Amino acid sequence: MDDLLREFLTETNESLDVVDVELVKFEQEPNNATILNNIFRLVHTIKGTCGFLGLPRLEAIAHAAETLMGKFRDGVPVTHEAVTLVLASIDRIKDILADLEAANGAEPDGTDRDLIDELERLSLSADNDDMADEMAAAMAEEKAAEEEVGTDIYQVLERPLRPGEVSLDDLERAFQEAEVEIELPAVEEETEEDGEPVGVAAPNFSEAKTSQKEVAKPKNPSAKGKASSQGVSNQSIRVNVETLEHLMTMVSELVLTRNQLLEIVRRHEDSEFKVPLQRLSNVTGELQEGVMKTRMQPIGNAWQKLPRIVRDLSQELDKPIGLEMIGAETELDRQVLELIKDPLTHMIRNSADHGLEDPADRVAAGKPEKGNITLSAYHEGGHIIIEVKDDGRGLNLEKIKEKALKNGVTTEAELEKMVDHQIYKFIFAAGFSTATNVTSVSGRGVGMDVVRNNVELIGGSIDLRSTPGRGSSFIIKIPLTLAIVSTLIVEAGGDRYAIPQLSVVELVRVQSNSEHRIERLKDRPVLRLRSKLLPLVHMSELLGQTEEADLDEDNGFIVVMQVGSQSFGVVVDGVFHTEEIVVKPMSSMLRNINMFSGNTILGDGSVIMIIDPNGVASAMASHASGTLTDTAEDEYENAEDHVIDADAPISLLLFRAGSEEPKAVPLSLVTRLEEFDVNKIEHSNGRDLVQYRGSLMPLVYVNEGDRHKSEGTQPMLVFSDNGRSMGLVVDQIVDIVEDRMTIEVVSERQGVLGSAIIRERATEVIDLGYYLPLAFDDWFMRKEIDTTTKVRKLLFLDDSAFFRNMLTPVLKAAGYDVTVCSSAQSGYELMEKGTDFAAIVTDIEMPDISGYEFCESLRRDTRFRHMPIIALSAVVTPASIEKGRQAGFDDYVAKFDRPGLLAALKDVLTNEFGVAA
């Protein structure tokens, strides 16, 4: 793509955004000539440029839209229909531009006759309503404009107004060259001065008169209207974002070097470097601030599309809605800006759809018919606060309670104790929507959790307030920038770590004889903090460095952290100071450690890891489930005759796909419920894909040959593991239920584990193991499951919750009594307790103690010398199999080869029988 075209794309996209906003404004104040002129000028520029660049499709639409708008300028009343149509044209232009960009400069095939016809029809009818001679003029104008694309006198007029624009300059020059020798600069000069330019240029054109008409009109008002606002753009230039990013990196380096120098000088009291270094330090500080500023953009940029969205929503929902935006000039880092665009849009939609009542209800409640949404932004101590407020009905507490109970997020007893505020927060849970009617706008319960996730992803937090009948407001708090973070430096296990301040609530000093001492509940440390019981975790334990027992509990500090609605304490050995650090991404070799969000270089030159609060929070959560496993194990010990499926009920997601009968999948396996606009579904390489979080996600259908919906949005279940995602296309998500998953009838069909009674209906339990390899070949294959009649005790070790959740039902369905452990350590403990297992299935790749080591050490123990042990691994190479054999495994199976696993189990168990017998 050549530079000219690229420049054109950037510029046109910007112009279109402005047009969007201006049109909505214009619809409300049809008599504002400045707005109209502004729109007219932008569309005209687009048209002219397209003609020059040889983009006939774009040009034709822009032209037709321009003609229609020309009518407005001539005094034809502005109708709702007309504005909608012009907006539709703008959208079409945007679509074409997107294709153009993707296709590297080639205009996509297709016709826009529909739009153009419609635009022309409106233009004509406007004319008919008007004077007849006007129409003749318009026709001539149309013809004239069509024939002299690129010879825009209007464009020429632009030039003295916006000299800072390089691309226009280029175009201008090109225009000049394309034109019959006219001394354009001279013309411009006159244009500026006497305001009666056309006479000079006109003789050069065939349709002099009509051109004159077209040009003379806009010139004066636009010159006037623009004079005031154009001053600023003269002083700005376009800079490639990459250049800025690079600059930012270099400044960060400079800051670090400066810090190092300061550290050195601090050690030498009377150094002659002191004064110049102080100066360097100040300059560096200012430089850093300056560069940061270049990355800052007013938040209004992220709001640009909102007026249009609200306008469309207002029509679609048939509610008059006003949008007020306060603090659009508040600046924040462009990286952050990009990341909050979508969540904001979603929240506005939510407010419009179920925040605001219908006009009738509003009137009945004594409120004005028109609902209001207020969007405001302001700075607060290194953070930016964005508030989305509506004056609607407020959240319905009862409905949320009901839904929370139904979804199994909480219990009746817990609800009793909660204050309203806590209950409101349930709407951020996945799969939560209280809207009774699912509309095309919102209410599918896949929204607010996404919003929360996106906000938390950038280290922000979200809160809400609601007053019944008065409205609700959502408050987002996000850091100004992601590049520099204020952190608390702590020490644990002899190493230092940085914890982002944003998630630190307070620090508590631990002393065994004071009121703040660590107590234990079933080995889990907790702290009584005021009225609450705070779960604790030792930092070094989190980082897998020490075992809980070795920790000194009498001294140290507790860093109380809050992530979303989760509060917990992290026990550290020492707390140093706070430091502003420049975040550097982790090396790709270490990026999969989710306990760290990055690393940085401290003033003393050493590298330090930055703790990711989200990672800690999820580790806390999995710790809790570890406790559950322990409990389950205890039960196993007490009840020897424990048979399968007497498990606690699990959450199941019910859905429909392909056929009427309900299908189910354990909720714990589902990463997310998503809906995609069907337009977003792309077909490539023989399969359907959607772009999802920056990568392509393959879509899989429940039955072969199923198709996704042809319009609207397509619900799907997203399964992710290890950075890969698959979308399972479903017709409808029915419900989430808590039930026992007892497979009554084992299936013969691929893709179905069997049928179970769920909610008193026969429900097909989907075999995820069948669908995963459809998305990625190396996610395993499966055939039938053999059912063995004998119930045998199996120990299954895997550190990945995903695989534990996935393989356990398979093993159970195959008739084994499965005990699950998440680490080799807990496996040892269980074996030591003397639980009698028939066989062990263990993952190879586990932290701390690998499967190899686990197996080797069991083999050293005479008791377990002949115990059948099967290795499960993602990597199956001759070398790894050999290594497995050396370690003493009886068999080595690929993690995804479930028939293989079941066959291997059967095999080793029959062998064992043979030996025993």
Partner 1 sequence: MTAHKLTTVDGDDNRQGSADHIQYVTVVIGSQLFGLPISQVHDVFVPEKVTQVPLAPPEVEGVLNLRGRIVTAINMRRKLHLKPNDADQGMMAVGIEYKGESYGLVIDAVGEVLNLPRNEMEANPSNLDFRWAEISGGVHRLDGRLMVVLDVDRLLSSLIEPKAA
Contacts to partner 1 by CB under 8 A: 253, 256-257, 493, 495, 543-545, 584, 587-590, 592-593, 595-596, 599-601, 605-609, 721-723, 800, 803, 843, 845, 847, 874-875, 877-879, 882-883, 895-896
CB 33 within 8 A of CB 320: no
Phi, psi of 532 (to 5 degrees): -115, 160
Q: Kindly tell me which of 436 and 588 has the beta carbon lying closer to partner 1.
A: 588
Cβ-based burial of 737 (10 A; exposed 0-12, middle 13-18, buried ≥19): buried
DSSP string, 612-675: -HHHHHHHHHHHHHHHHHHHHHHHHHH-TT--TT-PPPEEEEEEE-SSSS-EEEEGGG--EEEE
Q: How far apart are CA 639 and CA 643, in angstroms?
A: 9
Q: Which is nearer to partner 1, 93 or 484 (CB)?
A: 484
- Taking the least distance from each CB to partner 1, the nearer of 227 and 607 is 607
Cα–Cα distance list, 415 to 82, 277, 424, 820 (Å): 52, 60, 11, 31
CB nearer to partner 1: give 595 or 794. 595
Distances (CA, A) of 756 to 51, 90, 644, 815: 64, 52, 14, 15
Of 514 and 587, nearer to partner 1 (C-beta) is 587
Q: For residues 477 and 424, what is the distance between their CA atoms, to the nearest angstrom?
A: 18
Instruction: Tell the smallest beta-carbon distance from residue 248 to partner 1 (Å).
Output: 14
Token pair of 2, please?
């050549």
- For partner 1, give the closer residue by CB, 355 or 851: 851
Distance, CA of 512 to CA of 518 (rounded, Å): 7
In the numeric block, the tokens 């600069």 are attached to: 185
- Nearer to partner 1 by Cβ, of 609 and 909: the residue is 609
Sequence-distant (≥ 6) Cβ neighbours of residue 580 within 8 angstroms: 484, 485, 486, 487
CB of 895 to partner 1, least distance (A): 5
Instruction: Select 68 or 876, whichever has its Cβ closest to partner 1.
Output: 876
CB of 769 to partner 1, least distance (A): 13
In Å, how far are 244, 352, 355, 392 from 469, measured between CA atoms?
Answer: 48, 15, 10, 7
Closest CA to 198 of 181, 180, 182, 177: 182
Q: How far is the CB of 494 from partner 1 (least distance, A)?
A: 9
Between vectors from CA 380 to CA 374 and to CA 381, what angle results, nearest 5°?
Answer: 165
Q: Are 851 and 845 in contact (CB under 8 A)?
A: yes
Closest approach, Cβ 545 to partner 1, in A, equals: 6
With respect to partner 1, which residue has the nearer C-beta, 436 or 592?
A: 592
Angle between the N-to-C axes of helices 878-887 and 851-860, in degrees from 0 to 180, rounded to the nearest 10: 30
Q: Which is nearer to partner 1, 474 or 896 (CB)?
A: 896
Q: Which is nearer to partner 1, 250 or 521 (CB)?
A: 250
Of 35 and 559, which has the nearer Cβ to partner 1? Answer: 559
Closest contact distance (angstroms) between CB of 456 and partner 1 is 21
d(CA 22, CA 37): 10
CB of 601 to partner 1, least distance (A): 5
The Cα-based distances of 177 to 147, 183, 185, 512, 756 in angstroms read 17, 10, 12, 86, 77
Question: What is the distance between the alpha carbons of residues 338 and 678, in angstroms, rounded to a whole number?
Answer: 23
Helix (H) or strand (E) holding 561: strand 557-563
| Closest separation in Å from C-beta 150 to partner 1 | 43
Is residue 606 helix, strand or coil?
A: coil
Tokens 């809160």 sit on residue:
463
Q: Smaller CB distance to partner 1: residue 4 or 593?
A: 593
* Least distance CB 550 / partner 1 (angstroms): 15
Nearer to partner 1, 199 or 544 (CB): 544
H or E element that contains 795: strand 792-797
Minimum Å distance from CB 582 to partner 1? 10
What is the C-alpha to C-alpha distance for residues 569 and 539, in angstroms, rounded to an integer? 9
Hey, what amino acid is at 605? Answer: G
Q: In the complex with partner 1, which residue's Cβ is closer, 606 or 679?
A: 606
Tell the smallest beta-carbon distance from residue 636 to partner 1 (Å): 27
Report the interhelical angle of 33-53 vs 166-178 (nearest 10°): 60
Please state the closest distance from residue 361 (CB atom) to partner 1, in A: 53
Specify the DSSP class assigned to residue 475: E
Q: Least Å distance between CB 846 and partner 1?
A: 8
**Residue 502: DSSP 8-state:** G
Question: In the complex with partner 1, which residue's Cβ is closer, 371 or 500?
Answer: 500
Report how far residue 874's alpha carbon sits from residue 704's, in angstroms, rounded to the nearest whole number. Answer: 27
| Measured distance CA(433)–CA(808) in Å, rounded | 31
Cα–Cα distance measured from residue 614 to residue 502, given in angstroms and rounded to the nearest whole number = 12
User: Closest separation between CB of residue 872 and partner 1, Å?
Assistant: 9
- When the beta carbons of 464 and 601 are compared against partner 1, the nearer one is 601
| Residue 609 Cβ vs partner 1, minimum distance, rounded to whole Å | 6
Residue 73 token pair: 């300028």
Smallest distance from partner 1 to CB 547, Å: 14
For the beta carbon of residue 550, count every other beta carbon within 10 angstroms: 11
> What φ, ψ does residue 677 adopt, rounded to 5°?
-60, 135
CB of 774 to partner 1, least distance (A): 17
Q: Give least dist CB 776 to partner 1, A.
A: 11
> Cβ closer to partner 1: 120 or 495?
495
β-partners of residue 231 are: none
